[in-house]
């Protein structure tokens, strides 16, 4: 099983600042990686797939990069609605998908 | 736009079988090429993928749960279902259903665009 490790566990950022979240895979997942955002009491929302492609309706301030084992989600200028938990998920290891443990982005 | 809604008992006794249904609205469960998945999340913890069923009816399961999980589809009701047997307190969680489109282009290249539609989730507690 591919293990996905996210860092940091918690990221404290001021509104308007840039946030950089990391996700590392225990073995290569190529570009088969997605990012999800989850707010309290809500279902996760797809942000990014294919490591760097924004899902429909996702603002341009969200961007994804990386391939192989190291990936980054960048939020260029944090808005109040962006404070949430973010999960990466690999879908390269057929047939099993795995999620990272999540990074909580909180207000500094 | 497809919408998903989970339903089922909120309380299950230990050793019994958890059964949940996800109803698909706004589209047909048997049209197109979709993965219909179940994911769960214990309170205060992360997401765990349970398994999926294809439009074709094929299934894949998380190896750690495979011996206890069955996912099936009922096209006549536009629903897919989850059964998890021999439950324990560790199976207490919010259970989500989700869908993802996949396809092959004319060159046979595979595309998958992530789980873009999720149900709101349903809480299942395992307790006597």
The CA-CA-CA angle for residues A59, A64, A67, to 5°, reads: 160
DSSP single-letter state for residue A55: P
Q: Which of B48, B114, B119 sits opposite A55 (nearest CB)?
A: B114
Cβ <8 Å between B46 and A100: yes
pLDDT of residue B103: 85
- pLDDT of B109 higher than 90: no
Q: pLDDT by residue (tens digit) across B7-37?
A: 999 999 999 999 999 999 999 998 888 899 9
A84 three-class SS: coil
Q: How much of chain B exceeds pLDDT 90, in percent?
A: 84
pLDDT of residue B91: 98
pLDDT of residue A5: 98
**CA-to-CA dists, residue A105 to A13, A17, A73, angstroms:** 7, 12, 12
Quickly state the pLDDT bin for A83 (edges 50, 70, 90): very high
Separation between Cα atoms, residue A54 and residue A47, nearest integer Å = 6
Count residue pairs from A and B with Cβ separation < 8 A.
56
Q: pLDDT by residue (tens digit) across B36-57?
A: 999 999 999 999 999 999 888 8
Which tokens belong to B14? 């230990």
Separation between Cα atoms, residue B65 and residue B91, nearest integer Å = 10
Q: pLDDT by residue (tens digit) across B61-84?
A: 999 999 999 999 999 999 999 999
Quickly state the pLDDT bin for B121 (edges 50, 70, 90): very high
Taking contacts as CB-CB distances below 8 angstroms, the residues of chain B near A58 are none
Q: Which of A43, A50, A101 sits opposite B120 (nearest CB)?
A: A43
pLDDT of residue B90: 98
Taking contacts as CB-CB distances below 8 angstroms, the residues of chain A near B64 are 1
Q: How far is B86 from chain A (nearest CA, A)?
A: 22
Q: Which of B63, B98, B115 sits opposite A1 (nearest CB)?
A: B63
Q: How much of chain A exceeds pLDDT 70, in percent?
A: 100
Cβ <8 Å between B47 and A49: no
């Amino acid at each position: 099983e591919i293990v996905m490790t996210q860092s940091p566990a918690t990221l404290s950022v001021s509104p308007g600042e840039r946030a950089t979240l990391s996700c590392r895979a225990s073995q290569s997942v190529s570009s088969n990686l997605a990012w999800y955002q989850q707010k309290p009491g809500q279902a996760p929302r797809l942000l990014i797939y294919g490591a760097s492609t924004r899902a429909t309706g996702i603002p341009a301030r969200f961007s994804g990069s990386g391939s192989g084992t190291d990936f980054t989600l960048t939020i260029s200028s944090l808005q109040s609605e962006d404070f949430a938990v973010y999960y990466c998920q690999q879908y390269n290891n057929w047939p099993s998908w795995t999620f990272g443990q999540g990074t909580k982005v909180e207000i500094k | 736009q497809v919408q998903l809604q989970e339903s089922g008992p909120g309380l299950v006794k230990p050793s019994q079988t958890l059964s949940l249904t996800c109803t698909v609205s706004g589209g047909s469960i048997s049209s197109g090429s979709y993965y219909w998945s179940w994911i769960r999340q214990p309170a205060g913890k992360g997401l765990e993928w349970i398994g999926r069923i294809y439009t074709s009816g094929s299934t894949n399961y998380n190896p750690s749960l495979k011996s206890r999980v069955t996912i099936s589809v009922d096209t006549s009701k536009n629903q897919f279902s989850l059964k998890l047997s021999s439950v324990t307190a560790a199976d207490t969680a919010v259970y989500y259903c989700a869908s993802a489109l996949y396809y092959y282009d004319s060159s046979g290249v595979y595309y998958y665009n992530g789980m873009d539609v999720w149900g709101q989730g349903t809480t299942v507690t395992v307790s006597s």
